[in-house]
Amino acid sequence: MALRRQSVVLAVLLAPVTLFLGVFFLLPLLIIALFSFLSPGLYGGVEWTFYHWNYGRIFGWADGVNEIFEPIYLKILIRSLGFAALTVVLTLILCYPVAFWVSRLSERWRLLFLFLITLPFFCSLIVRLYAWLLILKPTGLLNTILLRAGLVSAPLEILYTPTAVVLGMVYVMVPFMFLPLYVSVDTLDRAQVEASQDLGANRVQTFLKVILPQTLPGIAGGSVIVFIPAVGNFVVPDVLGGAKGLMIGNLVEQQFLSARNWPFGSALSMIIMAVVLAVLMLSVSRARRAGGHA
């Protein structure tokens, strides 16, 4: 009886979120999945006929009649994955040592630092990216300083390059990497670190054999949380990237808003989702293997 009652309570509690996700997340997703197999309407929208050429246009089985295969889409996809991976690596390198430093601060300074890390969320992303635009442009802050200091003779061309895109994404993603990392570093058992040294392991060995494995959940969590939005990001390349900084998210945006090719945009979206899902499953299964029992 008690069990039955519990499951009723559980169902009641879960109903609102299930309904919400079902209507506003799963349904649109199914619509996009469906659209990706339909043909584009003349002025946007879709024609209700089965049409696999959207994918053919990306992966290469387009016959040249319905659609034309253009390798640029795959290139942009691979570039996006590369940018996202680079963003993960750079945020990780930036945040990992800082997490250790912060976890050793006194209570007061630690809270202040955690507040500072979340401070960017108080300001619109677009505004912050335009600030970067002002910093990076040829007559911007960075170049002015470098020129005045005599470190460069001509302004650096950073804006509208892949460098600017990665820089912007690293900037945006740092808090997402830092917080999970910090949690795992903060809960690291210091006694185990001492035990390792006590048993003769030097600092490098202790790091590789004890500290790194113990903080792996944080590294994996932060990486996934950074990688997923980074792959599909279109705001950063929109503001800071030029033609060479274009990412797959921008393509999707263009297909829906400018080219009015909804089915093709949907197909691109599905590909992003497939890649993200694959990465997620890989990291979960690896984490499970590394974590083992308890």
Partner 1 sequence: MSALLEINAARREFVTPEGGRLAALDGVDLTVGANEFVTLLGPSGCGKTTLLRAISGFEMLDSGTMRLGGADLTVLPPFRRPVNTVFQSYALFGHMTVARNVGYALEVAGASRTVREGQVAEALEKVGLSGLGARRPGQLSGGQRQRVALARAIIAKPRLLLLDEPLSALDRNLRQQMQLELKTLQHSLGIAFIFVTHDQEEALTMSDRIVVMRAGRVEQIGTPRDIYRHPRNRFVAEFIGETNLFAVTVDRIEGSLALARTGEGVEMHLPATGRSVGERVTAILRPTDFTLGNGGIPGRVTRVVYLGSDLYIFVQPQTGGPEIRVIARDGAGTEEGAAVHLAHDPTRVHVLEAM
Query: Which residues here bind partner 1, judged by CB under 8 A?
Result: 189, 191-192, 194-202, 205-206, 209-210, 213-214, 290-294
CB of residue 222 to partner 1, shortest distance in Å: 18
CB of residue 270 to partner 1, shortest distance in Å: 37
Q: How far apart are the first and last CA of the chain?
A: 32
CB of residue 292 to partner 1, shortest distance in Å: 6
CB of residue 114 to partner 1, shortest distance in Å: 21
Taking the least distance from each CB to partner 1, the nearer of 124 and 192 is 192
Neighbours of 245 (CB within 10 A): 23
User: What is the sign, positive or negative, of the torsion defined by CA atoms of 99, 103, 104, 107?
Assistant: positive
Taking the least distance from each CB to partner 1, the nearer of 278 and 290 is 290
Phi then psi for residue 168, to 5 deg, are -65, -40
Question: What does the alpha-carbon distance between residue 250 and residue 140 come to, in Å, rounded to a whole number?
Answer: 25
Question: What does the alpha-carbon distance between residue 198 and residue 139 come to, in Å, rounded to a whole number?
Answer: 56
CB of residue 181 to partner 1, shortest distance in Å: 17
Taking the least distance from each CB to partner 1, the nearer of 163 and 214 is 214
Taking the least distance from each CB to partner 1, the nearer of 244 and 286 is 286
Q: Which residues contact 214 (CB under 8 A, 6 or more apart)?
A: 184, 188, 189, 192
Question: What does the alpha-carbon distance between residue 1 and residue 150 come to, in Å, rounded to a whole number?
Answer: 80
Contact criterion met (CB below 8 Å) for 213 and 287? no
Taking the least distance from each CB to partner 1, the nearer of 5 and 108 is 108
- Going by the DSSP 8-state scheme, the letter that residue 243 receives in this structure is G
CB of residue 210 to partner 1, shortest distance in Å: 6
Taking the least distance from each CB to partner 1, the nearer of 149 and 204 is 204
Cα→Cα distances 108→59, 112, 175, Å: 54, 6, 19
